[in-house]
Amino acid sequence: MFWSKIWFFLIALAATAALALALALPRPAARAQATEEQRRLGVACDVVDILLTDDARNRVEVTGAFARTGTVVSALETASAAEKLDDVRMKQVRSVGEEVVKTIEGRKPDFAILLDRRGRVVANVNIDQDEYGDTLAGRPLVDDALAGYLRDDIWVFNNSMYFVAASPVIKRDATVEYVGAVLLGHKVTNELAQKLAGSVGVDVGFYLAGEPVAQSRSVSFDKATMQKAIGALSSGDPARDCQASKPTPVRAGKENITAIVARLPGEAATKQGYFTIFAAQPVDPGFLGTFKRLTKDDLTGDFPWVLVGGGFVLALAIGIGLMLVETDRPLRRLTADVVKLAKGETERLAEDAHPGKFGSIARSVNIHIDKLGREAKTAKKDLDQLLGPAPEGSLGTIDLLATALPSVRPGGAGPATPPPPSEFRFGDSGSSPARGTPVVPPAATAKTPPPVSFKNIGTQPGVGGGAAPVAAPPPPKPPLPPPPQTGPMAVQKAPPPLRLDDDILGGNAEPSTVGAAPTPPPPAGGYDPYFKEVYDQFIAMKQACNEQTSGLTFEKFADKLVRNRDDLKAKTGCTEVKFTVYVKDGKAALKATPV
Amino acid sequence: MGLPPRVIAPAYLVLALGAGTAMAGGVAGKVEVPAAPARAAVSNKGFLDRVENPLAPVKPVATTPQMLVVLEGPPPAGGTPVQVVWELVGESFAKPVIGAQVGAKVEIKNTSRTPRSLVAKGQPKLIEGGPLNPSGVRSFRVDAAGLIEVGDSDAPHLKGTVVVVASPYFATVDAAGKFDLGEVPEGTYKLQVFYGTGWIDQPEQQVVVPAKGKAEVTVKIPAGYPLKK
């Protein structure tokens, strides 16, 4: 059992380790997923920055093409020469601008502003269309465009954000001359954010001082958290914000989001403009979540089923082997040994032949056998003292106990002849005899009629039918016992060992013996009805054995039984005494058994 | 690659003429500027760096609009400083640099359609708070010589400088470098030029104003536009 226990311990340890591993394994996976998600956000931020830069390049090119349009150049040249601008000129130039805007393919600008060489607004297209005359010179984008540069910027006005591109307008006829500038603006909208989000697979939002301007999906961020993240970037190069920005966990309503922020360039930067790449934080699936995500493909292909199956078979084989070696085989040996003991082939269990606990069981059984032997010997001695030496077949022989005794007893020499087999049988509880119906071994049945149970007495009246006592040939009549002493002195002497049947057969005994019973007979009708049953059985058995019954009265018989019962109770401490009528050596005999 | 003809912006000449001058001539002149300084790094850069257009050379930085010519001489006999009007035309002032005599009232007039919140750098109480709405006027009085930088907190690019001097004789310079001080009492004056954020560091230049007629003055700005420390 030792190695079996060790093995079970190792199996339990391995199972626990496997369970702990299974519970812990999703965590690094979730951590790796979060890291990967953050990396993905950083990449997405770079991609969005590239897309916006590419978009700016396209917008600048479109603006340059717009500025090179002949009608635009002519209109602004004329406007630049005018000291004052008026409605007529404004509408004429605006009309020119509207026509040119229509020719732009792809995403059209949300507004166009045409400036003269001084930076005055000559006309607005699609925005504040009736206004003109304001000087936009002074804004870096406009100053650069009037000086001859093409560039872009991000403007904020009317609570909106615009990507603005600017280009100088240059007259190229006889003399090359700057005549103005053109600005094209594209509004930052949710559609733009969604388009960007579709390109990178995560959400995109544009903000001014923490307030959303455009988002691919409506999310309300914690303003302070985002401002803090932006503040951490204030010292670096805005162009490298995507690399420098650390993923920021932020709570948006009931949603946990990871966001990367990057400052927007241009004038928007002075108004704390930034864009955010964000995605919901990956949820740690845990053990069950990971289990639910298992697919058939996960368990096929290169899954090491051979290793798993081999491990299982090996563990099972080792466990079964240890059980076989340490439990099953010793148990079978013990069982066989006990069966031999039950059959009387051995008188004790071989303690040394059984290892471990089985040896302990064997020792315990042997100890109990020894105890029973001592108790039986004591009981027999008491019965002998009570009833006198019990020759074979005489009343008082406790046959059952005698059969259980080994041939060699620790307490002394055993009986000369081996005891008959016990009525007890292993593994056949259904055949256990009921009270009052002792089972007679086959050997005994062949020689003597079986004991007559109380029930059998009732169901087998008389001596005629049945296979038991009646079928047996009548045994030879035993010699008469020596005549008992008579007279009062005989009563006072220590009574010789008596046999109940002899006393009961007192019809052949001295009358004085009958009349001089040591104890007064119980009053008529005061005996246990059980004694009457035993008496009737005994009489019937005697008659069956052709014995004389004339001198055997019920009162004498009952007195004997009472004394016998009381003595047995006193000696053995039993609570009841069972009397069994049987035939021994052709004569009716009575057996008393403590219960 | 030749330089393009310079665009001459209208020079708003602000004159502070001394009252009661019986004999007064005038001063007119031209500022000869060296090569313009390099253009400052791009401001408010967008997603892209600015690129030069392929059709014409980029214009040099216009320096003269940031200049103010001042005549320092005997104090005027009596009279009160003349009020100065400074137009706010949109995203910039009509003149980035103006002059004002000590004690003069400077009136900022918003001729654009954009409201502004103007504030004087370092003197937050000099200009009355609140937005200066289109066509609105905001005025303040300058009590001491020095520089007053006015800007809009919501538009960092919007800046203008008021040069406060004791002399009432000063003039801005147009894109061509010309200036005209108008009537100036007869006498000898010292000419100084303010540029951008300080006074040009140059040899002292005397201007003798005749009783009649105008004195023609040519001012040569040293290369590199050095400023007095």
Q: Which value does ipTM take for this structure?
A: 0.88
- Among residues B172, B202, B163, B205, which one has the least CA distance to residue B72? B205
Q: Is the pLDDT of residue B5 over 50?
A: no
Shortest distance between the Cα of B157 and any Cα of chain A, in A, equals 6
Q: Is the pLDDT of residue A452 over 50?
A: no
Question: Which residues of B sit within 8 Å Cβ distance of A?
Answer: 4-5, 7, 9, 39, 42-53, 55-59, 61, 89-94, 112-114, 156-158
Residue B3 — pLDDT band, cuts 50, 70, 90?
Answer: very low
Q: Of A256, A282, A308, which residue is a domain's last?
A: A282
Asked if residue A489 belongs to a domain, the reply is yes
More confident residue, A353 or A387: A353
**Is the Cα dihedral A262, A265, A270, A271 positive or negative?**
negative
Residue in this structure with the two tokens 């045994």, named with its chain if needed? A475
pLDDT of residue A354: 85
Q: What is the pLDDT of residues A171-206, one digit of tens each?
A: 998 889 999 999 999 999 999 999 999 999 999 999
Q: What separation in angstroms does the CA of B107 have from each of A137, A408, B173?
A: 21, 140, 20
Which tokens go with B218? 């040519």
- Whichever domain contains A244, its CATH number is 3.30.450
pLDDT of residue B31: 95
In this complex, how many residue pairs, one in chain A and one in chain B, have their CB atoms less than 8 Å apart? 125
Q: What is the pLDDT of residues B120-136, one digit of tens each?
A: 999 999 999 889 999 99
pLDDT of residue A237: 82
Chain A contacts of B37, Cβ < 8 Å? Answer: none
The burial class, CB within 10 Å (0-12 / 13-18 / 19+), for A520 is: exposed
Note the residue count of chain B.
Answer: 229
Test B42 with A267 for CB contact under 8 angstroms.
no
Angstrom distance (rounded) from CA A469 to CA A547:
13
Amino acid residing at A595: V
Angstrom distance (rounded) from CA A456 to CA A466:
10
Instruction: For residue B53, give the nearest of A56, A148, A152 by CB distance.
Output: A148
pLDDT of residue A439: 39
Test A144 with B42 for CB contact under 8 angstroms.
yes
Shortest distance between the Cα of B106 and any Cα of chain A, in A, equals 21
Domain that holds residue A523: 454-594
Q: Is the pLDDT of residue A24 over 90?
A: no
Spatial contact of B168 and B77, defined as CB atoms under 8 Å apart? no
Spatial contact of A541 and A468, defined as CB atoms under 8 Å apart? no
Angstrom distance (rounded) from CA A324 to CA A329:
6
Q: What separation in angstroms does the CA of B145 have from each of A474, B15, B103?
A: 163, 17, 9
Asked if residue A28 belongs to a domain, the reply is no
Asked if residue A174 belongs to a domain, the reply is yes
Q: Of A187, A222, A250, which residue is a domain's last?
A: A187
The reply to whether A143 and A216 lie within a common domain is: no
- Among residues B67, B68, B70, B81, which one has the least CA distance to residue B19? B81
Q: Of A145, A172, A187, which residue is a domain's last?
A: A187
Asked if residue A529 belongs to a domain, the reply is yes
pLDDT of residue B180: 95
Test A137 with B90 for CB contact under 8 angstroms.
yes
- Around Cβ A420, how many Cβ atoms within 10 Å? 15
Spatial contact of A222 and A251, defined as CB atoms under 8 Å apart? yes
Shortest distance between the Cα of B114 and any Cα of chain A, in A, equals 9
Test A138 with B90 for CB contact under 8 angstroms.
yes
The reply to whether A199 and A222 lie within a common domain is: yes
The reply to whether A200 and A82 lie within a common domain is: no
Q: Is the pLDDT of residue B94 over 80?
A: yes
Asked if residue A59 belongs to a domain, the reply is no
Test B46 with A151 for CB contact under 8 angstroms.
yes
The reply to whether A459 and A578 lie within a common domain is: yes
Q: Is the pLDDT of residue A404 over 70?
A: no
Shortest distance between the Cα of A131 and any Cα of chain B, in A, equals 8
The reply to whether A236 and A156 lie within a common domain is: no
Residue A398: φ, ψ to 5°: -95, 85
Chain B contacts of A117, Cβ < 8 Å? Answer: 7
Shortest distance between the Cα of A176 and any Cα of chain B, in A, equals 7
* Domains, chain B, with CATH or none: 24-33+61-213 (2.60.40.420)
Q: What is the pLDDT of residues A532-585, one digit of tens each?
A: 888 888 888 888 888 888 888 888 888 888 888 888 888 887 888 888 888 888
Chain B contacts of A131, Cβ < 8 Å? Answer: 113
DSSP letter, residue A328: I
Residue A4 — pLDDT band, cuts 50, 70, 90?
Answer: confident
SS3 content of chain B, % helix, strand, coil (to 5): 0, 45, 55
Q: Is the pLDDT of residue A358 over 90?
A: no
The reply to whether A144 and A235 lie within a common domain is: no
Q: Is the pLDDT of residue A59 over 90?
A: yes
The reply to whether A116 and A210 lie within a common domain is: no
pLDDT of residue A420: 44
- Whichever domain contains A135, its CATH number is 3.30.450.20
DSSP letter, residue A55: H
Angstrom distance (rounded) from CA A375 to CA A492:
31
- The arithmetic mean of pLDDT across residues A3-30, rounded, is 88
Shortest distance between the Cα of B30 and any Cα of chain A, in A, equals 22
The reply to whether A214 and A151 lie within a common domain is: no
Q: Is the pLDDT of residue A478 over 80?
A: no
3-state secondary structure A124-181: EECCCCCCCCCECECEHHHHHHHHCEEEEEEEEECCEEEEEEEEEEEEECCCEEEEEE
Cβ-proximal residues to A57 (8 Å cutoff; 6+ apart), any chain: B47, B48
The reply to whether A156 and A224 lie within a common domain is: no
More confident residue, B29 or A489: B29
pLDDT of residue A318: 92
Amino acid residing at B3: L
Shortest distance between the Cα of A179 and any Cα of chain B, in A, equals 10
> Chain A window 159-188: which residues touch B at a Cβ cutoff of 8 Å?
163-164, 167-168, 170, 172, 175-178
Test A150 with B49 for CB contact under 8 angstroms.
no
Q: Is the pLDDT of residue B16 over 60?
A: no
The reply to whether A149 and A204 lie within a common domain is: no
Degrees to nearest 5, angle at CA A202 with A196 and A204: 50
The reply to whether A152 and A197 lie within a common domain is: no
Asked if residue A82 belongs to a domain, the reply is yes
| Average pLDDT value for chain A | 78
A148 touches B at CB < 8 Å: yes
Residue A293 — pLDDT band, cuts 50, 70, 90?
Answer: confident
The burial class, CB within 10 Å (0-12 / 13-18 / 19+), for A489 is: exposed
Angstrom distance (rounded) from CA A508 to CA B106:
167
> How many domains does chain A contain in total?
3
Shortest distance between the Cα of A40 and any Cα of chain B, in A, equals 22
Instruction: For residue B92, give the nearest of A117, A135, A151 by CB distance.
Output: A135
Alpha helices in A215-355 (DSSP H): 223-231, 241-244, 267-270, 286-292, 305-323, 329-343
Test B48 with A53 for CB contact under 8 angstroms.
yes
Chain A contacts of B46, Cβ < 8 Å? Answer: 56, 141, 151-154, 163-164, 265-266
Asked if residue A120 belongs to a domain, the reply is yes
Q: What is the DSSP string of A351-381?
A: GGGS-HHHHHHHHHHHHHHHHHHHHHHHHHH
User: By percentage, how much of chain A surpasses pLDDT 70?
Assistant: 76
Test A152 with B48 for CB contact under 8 angstroms.
yes
Which tokens go with A475? 């045994």
Residue A235: φ, ψ to 5°: -90, -10
What is the radius of gyration, based on Cα positions, of chain B? 19
Long-range Cβ contact pairs of A358-361 (< 8 A, separation 24 or more): A358/A330, A358/A331, A358/A333, A358/A334, A361/A334
Q: Is the pLDDT of residue A135 over 70?
A: yes
The reply to whether A516 and A473 lie within a common domain is: yes
Residue A435: φ, ψ to 5°: -60, 130
Chain A contacts of B49, Cβ < 8 Å? Answer: 151
Asked if residue A169 belongs to a domain, the reply is yes
Chain A contacts of B92, Cβ < 8 Å? Answer: 119, 135, 137-138
Test A177 with B4 for CB contact under 8 angstroms.
yes
Q: What separation in angstroms does the CA of B54 have from each of A64, A172, A482?
A: 10, 12, 159
Q: What is the pLDDT of residues B159-213, one digit of tens each?
A: 999 999 999 999 999 999 999 998 898 899 999 999 999 999 999 999 999 988 8
Which tokens go with A231? 């503040």
Test A134 with B9 for CB contact under 8 angstroms.
no
